[in-house]
């Protein structure tokens, strides 16, 4: 009889197809967010000019690998839940706030863009954590770890903007 | 007098702005090709099912880092030539042939897609090599090395397709 | 007063002996599952013949260390909860589906055996996650991580079997 | 509308300031516990005399780095939640049981002190796990991992004391 | 003509099937001895309590990998000689002397168990060396190396027991 | 006769107990200075906000390990000279100048605090070097090496403050 | 007197020149076998096309270094026994069965060629082991280790061919 | 006949002595440029004061090894072309723009000096590339790679100066 | 239209078959040169006697891996250009000057042999560079790098012979 | 004139031959002390039986390399001062207290032997430090570092003996 | 019954005490040979002067670790066979031929000494191999590996001497 | 009061400006000596021809990094003492004895030049050690370590020259 009704937390079980669909949907959105972040961070780890910009460039350059890793984790999880990782045709850019500024010395523009991007990610990942609770603990645990990365990153850039605010530049 | 007219191969010199514009244009296209390839290879290193697919998946997974590296090289070169690396809003997908197939066991679809993508890259990079000759030896040298990677990759997948043809499956 | 009644999540507290007994029981079963898997994977990482079998053999060989590590984690946790890791006399084989096939080129037999073993593990580990919820977060967290490994492994072998099904061999 | 009320698990959201205050308070206490443990373990990894003491000294010396790492994790989390890591003036020693004994061959004194210190940490960290449930999953997940370390450590030293009890020395 | 009668030392030759059968039989027994030792050493590297027990636990923990390696060497050699590595259903525990003792501080029980297990292995491996002489030099050479490990291990634990005897505890 | 009166530089000899007492006293003070510095640097490697603060934070974060190493060297030397490393109850904070500032963007506060702390250490370590001359060359040599680290560190932060002075901010 | 008649196993002794001649002869043949194998494996690690061929190509590519190492061991041993390593003019190809096939997808041709090459090596090395017994234990021991490599390799490729036989392709 | 007149690209051939002389002359100048840059970068990686100066100091410190490596490459190439690496007596300083400024917080002075030094190098290396074309492809290829380093470095410091210009400081 | 006639530098394009044939021919000769060099260097890294010979032996031993790597690069390039790497039956020795000398202390014989071998390689590789110019930049770039290795090696051994000439021994 | 009378601290100067003789004498004695310690520690890292002995064995085994390193430092310094490192015929054993005891479980014998050996070394090295003061700072500095090692080692074994004293066994 | 009479190759069995005694005697002599060689090689890796001497010095310096390792292997084997590793008082120097020569540029003296030492070792080790045959395969196998090292070393130095003979210097 | 008069060994104290000036002067000379040595060693690690020259070339090549490191240490210490590292315009070559010889096989010229350079360094560094005694122990300690390197190097090259003297070539 224990075979008839699967354990509630076994998301891969046959009778949990609907829940899987919902989780895949959430993961797919997260996947595209990370892919776009990779693009945005490549550009912003190279474009900005200036000594102060170096700190931001180096920080973003290190994050490229991290964010790509997140994307690959999301993609692998989609596959594990019997979904299909979407192709490049499905990509639609959303990070209007992380496009190159007019002037490459405008570092404030980049910092604010990063904060906005991270805020969006944090909100979405918090949602996944809520929705997977008691349904898919593996996805939940994986997303909590990724959320930690994003929170730390957002907090760092909030510190950056504070300095510019103190100087009256932001 | 030697200061008045710069050395012909010094692409960074002030009086070579037009040539730089052209090279940046070529590099920007190359940059987007590599970025899209990263997306396509992530999906195709995860989606396919089957034992034989493993060889393809592992090959593509290793290439993700390589192609990302190419993208970062192109981006850095754009910056060195006083250009601006474009933001995610400028991205437009072109690799219709590398979208996920109907059936995830359809490995032939993936192999053919990779060959088409590599053929496009090879053609474009050969053009850059021609156009930068005696104008920008640094870009030329960098692109020759990348071209080598792509030729090797294309040849490998042509070998794969040959096996399927021999079996009457492609 | 806070000393009188221990925090609910402190599984090591004296008044949680019953809960500990139950968790140790679950962990002991998990321990033996992993030990048997080690045996099965050694045999199946060596016995099968053929080019296609190589992919399976290499995959299983890598997993031997991973599964042994799981066994050691389960054993260490049993000890931490004041239990005793059982001796070899308590071992009873259960993976009838992972015994060597008649023919060593019969890879499908191995693949199906792995899927069945992983399915059993996933079901049992999902149960542990449920039963330890709010009682022993440390065990729960440890098992979620192990569950992730097993889900990924099962999904991979399901992909393998799909190829043989497509070829009418499974 | 989803912007108006933030996701319940997004502890960094503006309307969760009270919850953050409480979590910071708990983390600050944890931070000081780890800092004092670093001091106590330095002294006790050096002071004890004797062959048997070597095992304890080496065990504690390895833990210095681990406990320092915990302290840094707690401190970083305080910052991420918009708190301020306190300065050395706020430190108040509490581990009276881990001060150097009269005789440096009195290893039992050290073992008992470690057990008491770990018990205090386990109790406090279990409380954090409870209080952050569904409120701050990132802090919760981080503390569960630290709790695991402390449980393992306590259990090891309980085993040590048992030997001395069996010999009638404790 | 050189094909008609094979070199006496070429155990893989077709006309040496009987000798191979015998060697496989001996290797299979050796394989199971190592597998059971892995189980016994996992349990005994975790169960014992006490400072002195640490030395034994650490020694056994290091040996787990070594013994697993031996098992894999035996298994690979069985395959090379056209045999089949047996499945978990064939396992039958024999190390009654290495089951967990009543009291986890009873280290003497563990030490004696290890000596008995190693003695059995040494006797069996010495037999293999004798029987493979001039018949299968590769197996012989491999087993001599493994025998060296076991002799060293036995001698170490004999030294341990001697201390307890000197103290009148064994 | 050479046995009757020990070599003047042999600080461990029985008839040098008074000199040892004095050296232990100096080392104990040095030990606590380093321990407090560890605390201060953890806090100040995490609290400050801003791009420019990053340089200071990274510099201090690297120094945490270095200063902890100094503390452990001082503690080990105390033990070698037959002293006892003090417990946490003996700690008394003195670095009032390194407590968190009102505003976390106030980097000047941190820089000045570091200079003051290093100045105190340099003065005390110079005293140890003087007092141990021809009495305890081993302690002297060890402290010279540590002094070098502190001088370099002080000089670096003096350079930092100079920039702020040039900008009229300090 | 012990100088008059050398120890029987001291192959380097002056009165063992004849035995050395014979061993050098055997080693020289072995040397050329390994050199030719290096050539054959380079070609066959690059020429074959197809997904299944990848497993064979990778296996052979790894073996190139191993076989080169064998050749260098044989050459060094020739020198130690007062012989001279022959020059390239003495090389005569013998592995007609390992030349490139008509069709590069003909993997069965390659597998059979490898088995034939390994069989020849095994036979020759078994002969060396026999002839050096009690005469030159160092050469014997070295060749046993090399023989083990070759036996394992042959067995692997026999497994490959079995799959093709099962599919009616070989 | 092909021996009579050497291949045009074989710079080492006897009848290319004149061309070699010219290349050696160009390489010798390049060699001294790199040597002086090593001196200038050592001084400027240590002298400047201030937080912002750290970025420049670290950048230059890393480049010391790179520039020394360039010098060694130029020297080795001189030797390969039958020239002699000159001794220290031949050195004549030319980088008047990279001498220590009056004030060590004057970072703009350093940045401008680096740009001027790199511009000179780029011009000279572009000339070498032109003059070696079709004459000495090895030197040409080596210099292209070095030129790439210098272009990247110049571009970076141009970005630095831009920030100071934006702030009205340069 | 740009599709109709391929880019001149795209050697893999269908209408460049003749050029590919010629390049493959040149690469095949280069491949055999490197293979023979591997053989010659193995023998000459082992045969020579004497202290001075050590420098030559060590130099050649290091080059074995380098030359094998060159051979593998040539072979891979042949494959990429749709050629077939030849089998061992096609090998014909040409380095008569690198056969073992009468006396193993005759180091001059070896040095002269190496110089002759390298001269031949340099001439052939210079030809490949000329012939691939503007036709196959990838092959050209690869061969330039290999040519650099050979030039450096030749120059080193020319320095060796000069010493013997100065001593009247060559 | 500064050439006429050399700097007092330049021990290698021609007019310091007498001082060099004395230093070489001291170093030669130190050299033999370390060589004998190597022998004693090899024997005592292998002979003792028992669990408690393991701590001593491991400690001594690690020190073998350290003491050998000291011997090599002393030998190199003798050479630098124009002395000759003595041959094995000059060796005369002095560590009667470190010979193997009657019973291999007699660990106290070993511990006391180590303390006596270290005490002798400390006394001699303290003498060297005194005698080289202001005469040969390089030797002095080198010996201070070695002295530190020996002091730490002695103190550790004094701690060991204290435990046995507390138990009434020493 | 198989328990009554032990396997002939089980040297550790109780009824093989006589054979063990003989093997221990042989191993003890071997142990002292290696210890003396360590001393001789330290001296001779430091004393000789001259460019050609460098090759010998470096060769001997590398061998110090190897020979020390041999000594430790012999010592460990003595212990395994229930023997006792002798103390330093038992050492008696025998390598009169490896004492420092009159003139430190007399390299021929050193080379001949090494050859004599290695010849002695080879003779003794060949004897051990003979005497342990079928009695103690583990010791035999261990000594064969060590013998290989010594043969290679002797052969190398014979090559060195040949050069000096050719020059009429030896 | 202790603040009024600084510790005598605190060279960074305000009232030690004169002493600092003198130390900086000495360090600046040392800095330029090392810089010139870097140049001389680059040239002399590349120019010399011949087998024997290899030993010298390799020795000098390794020293380039060491000497550069010394230069950087001197430069950093100048900065720490509130001095300014001089620019390249201040460089004046002094090592006339290390310029390239007429003939590149003239190794004796190079050896003598190195000895002269090292002698000069040793004399100057001995002076610094004397002058900094009890004034600046950190500089003193740093220079003692550097002096050790130079003494060892000088002694090595004196050994080289001795060989040539024995052969009547120097």
Confidence of residue B6 (pLDDT cuts 50, 70, 90): low
Cβ atoms of C43 and C100 within 8 Å: the answer is yes
CA distance linking residue D59 with residue D40, whole number of Å: 13
By Cβ distance, the residue of A10, A82, A138 closest to C144 is A138
pTM for the full predicted model:
0.95
CA distance linking residue H88 with residue H90, whole number of Å: 5
pLDDT in the model for residue C1: 33
Q: The tokens of C56 are what? A: 């399976």
In the numeric block, the tokens 């106590």 are attached to: D40
Binding partners of E (≥3 Cβ pairs within 8 A): C, D, G, J, K
Shortest CA distance from D13: residue in chain A:
A123
Indicate yes or no: CB of C7 within 8 angstroms of CB of D144: no
List pLDDT tens digits, range B88-110: 999 999 999 999 999 999 999 99
Residues in J lying within 8 Å of E, measured between beta carbons: 48-55, 103-105
By Cβ distance, the residue of A133, A141, A151 closest to D12 is A151
pLDDT in the model for residue D167: 85
Q: Does an interface of 3+ CB pairs under 8 Å exist between D and L? A: no
Q: Does an interface of 3+ CB pairs under 8 Å exist between D and E? A: yes
List pLDDT tens digits, range K17-42: 999 999 999 999 999 999 999 999 99
List pLDDT tens digits, range K39-82: 999 999 999 999 989 999 999 999 999 999 999 999 999 999 99
pLDDT in the model for residue G167: 85
Quote the minimal CA–CA distance from F76 to chain D in Å.
6
Query: What average pLDDT score do residues G2-27 get?
Result: 82
Contacts of J6 in chain L (CB under 8 A): 123, 126
List pLDDT tens digits, range L4-48: 445 666 899 989 999 999 999 999 999 999 999 999 999 999 999
Q: Which of C1, C9, C13, C129 should be substituted to probe chain D, the one whose Cβ sees the most D Cβ atoms within 10 Å?
A: C9
pLDDT in the model for residue I3: 43
CA distance linking residue H101 with residue H109, whole number of Å: 7
Confidence of residue I167 (pLDDT cuts 50, 70, 90): confident
pLDDT in the model for residue D69: 98
Quote the minimal CA–CA distance from A62 to chain F in Å.
15
By Cβ distance, the residue of E42, E84, E98 closest to C100 is E84
The share of chain D scoring above pLDDT 70, in percent, equals 95
Confidence of residue K170 (pLDDT cuts 50, 70, 90): confident
List pLDDT tens digits, range J115-148: 999 999 999 999 999 999 999 999 999 999 999 9
Confidence of residue D169 (pLDDT cuts 50, 70, 90): confident
pLDDT in the model for residue D6: 53
Shortest CA distance from J55: residue in chain D:
D51
Q: Which of F155, F157, F162 should be substituted to probe chain H, the one whose Cβ sees the most H Cβ atoms within 10 Å?
A: F162
Indicate yes or no: CB of C96 within 8 angstroms of CB of E89: yes
CA distance linking residue H67 with residue H157, whole number of Å: 16
The share of chain C scoring above pLDDT 70, in percent, equals 95
Query: What average pLDDT score do residues H87-100 get?
Result: 97
Q: How much is the ipTM here? A: 0.93
Quote the minimal CA–CA distance from B104 to chain C in Å.
9
List pLDDT tens digits, range E119-170: 999 999 999 999 999 999 999 999 999 999 999 999 999 999 999 999 888 8
Contacts of B105 in chain C (CB under 8 A): 162-163, 166
- Long-range CB pairs of A161-165, under 8 A, 24+ apart, other chains included: A161/A108, A161/A111, A161/A112, A161/A115, A162/F49, A162/F50, A162/F104, A162/F105, A163/F49, A163/F50, A163/F51, A163/F52, A163/F53, A163/F105, A164/A107, A164/A108, A164/A111
Residues in B lying within 8 Å of G, measured between beta carbons: 52, 55-56, 107, 158-160, 162-163, 166
Binding partners of J (≥3 Cβ pairs within 8 A): D, E, F, K, L
DSSP H stretches of helix in chain B: 17-44, 51-80, 107-132, 137-166
pLDDT in the model for residue F7: 62
pLDDT in the model for residue G169: 81
Residues in J lying within 8 Å of L, measured between beta carbons: 6-10, 12, 76, 79-80, 82, 134, 137-138, 141-142
Binding partners of A (≥3 Cβ pairs within 8 A): B, C, D, F, H
Cβ atoms of B97 and B112 within 8 Å: the answer is yes
Contacts of A137 in chain C (CB under 8 A): 129, 140, 144, 147
Shortest CA distance from E155: residue in chain K:
K80
pLDDT surpasses 70 at C136: yes
Binding partners of B (≥3 Cβ pairs within 8 A): A, C, G, H, I
Query: What average pLDDT score do residues B63-70 get?
Result: 98
pLDDT in the model for residue C67: 98
Residues in J lying within 8 Å of K, measured between beta carbons: 35-36, 38-40, 42-43, 46-47, 64, 68, 71-72, 75-76, 78-79, 84-89, 91, 93, 95-96, 98-100, 104
Indicate yes or no: CB of J122 within 8 angstroms of CB of F12: yes
Query: What average pLDDT score do residues L95-104 get?
Result: 96
pLDDT surpasses 50 at I140: yes
Shortest CA distance from J164: residue in chain D:
D50
Contacts of J82 in chain L (CB under 8 A): 155
Indicate yes or no: CB of L166 within 8 angstroms of CB of K104: no
pLDDT in the model for residue K2: 39
Query: What average pLDDT score do residues D37-54 get?
Result: 96
CA distance linking residue F135 with residue F9, whole number of Å: 5
Q: What is the mean pLDDT of chain J?
A: 94
Q: The tokens of C8 are what? A: 């609910």
Indicate yes or no: CB of D137 within 8 angstroms of CB of A155: no
Indicate yes or no: CB of A76 within 8 angstroms of CB of C152: yes
Q: Which regions of chain F are under pLDDT 50?
A: 1-5
CA distance linking residue G85 with residue I44, whole number of Å: 8
Report how far apart, in Å, the C-alpha atoms of L1 and of each of A126, L5, L6 are: 61, 7, 9
> Of A153-157, B14-18, C138-142, where does mean pLDDT reach its minimum?
B14-18
Of residues J14 and A136, more confidence is placed in A136
SS3 string, C112-151, reads: HHHHHHHHHHHHHHHHHHHHCCCCCHHHHHHHHHHHHHHH
Contacts of H141 in chain I (CB under 8 A): 141, 144-145, 148
Contacts of E64 in chain C (CB under 8 A): 68, 72
Instruction: Give Cβ neighbours of residue K87 (< 8 Å, ≥ 6 apart).
Output: J39, J40, J43, J93, J95, J98, J99, J100
List pLDDT tens digits, range J82-94: 999 999 999 999 9
pLDDT surpasses 50 at B59: yes
Q: The tokens of I24 are what? A: 């493959």
CA distance linking residue D95 with residue D92, whole number of Å: 10
By Cβ distance, the residue of D50, D55, D103 closest to J160 is D50
Task: Give the largest CA-CA distance in chain I.
Answer: 69
Indicate yes or no: CB of D93 within 8 angstroms of CB of F88: yes
Confidence of residue J156 (pLDDT cuts 50, 70, 90): very high
Contacts of D110 in chain E (CB under 8 A): none
Indicate yes or no: CB of D162 within 8 angstroms of CB of E54: no
Question: What DSSP string describes J62-107?
Answer: HHHHHHHHHHHHHHHHHHHTT--PPPGGG-----GGGSPPSSTT-H
List pLDDT tens digits, range F36-62: 999 999 999 999 999 989 999 999 999
Indicate yes or no: CB of E100 within 8 angstroms of CB of C89: no
> Of C6-10, I99-103, I137-141, where does mean pLDDT reach its minimum?
C6-10
- Angle, helices C137-166 vs B51-80, to 10°: value is 110
**A vs B: CB pairs below 8 A:** 95
Confidence of residue K8 (pLDDT cuts 50, 70, 90): low
Indicate yes or no: CB of E91 within 8 angstroms of CB of C35: no
- Other CB atoms within 10 A of residue G83 CB: 18
pLDDT in the model for residue L8: 63
Contacts of D163 in chain E (CB under 8 A): 49-53, 105
pLDDT surpasses 80 at A5: no
Residues in F lying within 8 Å of A, measured between beta carbons: 48-55, 103-105
Q: The tokens of I135 are what? A: 């036709």
Indicate yes or no: CB of F52 within 8 angstroms of CB of A56: no
Indicate yes or no: CB of D53 within 8 angstroms of CB of J163: yes
Cβ atoms of J82 and J20 within 8 Å: the answer is yes
By Cβ distance, the residue of H43, H76, H93 closest to L46 is H76
List pLDDT tens digits, range H102-152: 999 999 999 999 999 999 999 999 999 999 999 999 999 999 999 999 999
Indicate yes or no: CB of C151 within 8 angstroms of CB of A12: yes
Q: Is the dihedral of CA L119, L121, L124, L125 positive or negative?
A: negative
């Amino acid at each position: 009889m224990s075979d008839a009704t699967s354990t509630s937390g076994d998301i891969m079980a046959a009778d949990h197809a609907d829940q899987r669909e919902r989780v895949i949907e959430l993961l797919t959105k997260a996947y595209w967010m990370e892919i776009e972040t990779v693009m945005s961070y490549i550009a912003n780890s190279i474009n900005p000019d200036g000594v102060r910009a170096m700190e931001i460039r180096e920080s973003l350059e290190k994050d490229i690998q991290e964010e790509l890793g997140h994307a690959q984790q999301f993609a692998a999880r989609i596959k594990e839940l019997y979904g299909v990782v979407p192709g490049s045709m499905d990509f639609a850019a959303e990070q209007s706030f992380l496009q190159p500024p007019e002037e490459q010395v405008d570092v404030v523009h980049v910092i604010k863009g990063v904060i906005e991007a991270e805020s969006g990610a944090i909100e979405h990942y918090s949602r996944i954590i809520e929705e997977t609770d008691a349904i898919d603990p593996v996805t939940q645990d994986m997303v909590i770890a990724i959320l930690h990365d994003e929170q730390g990153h957002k907090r760092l850039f909030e510190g950056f903007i504070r300095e510019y605010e103190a100087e009256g530049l932001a």
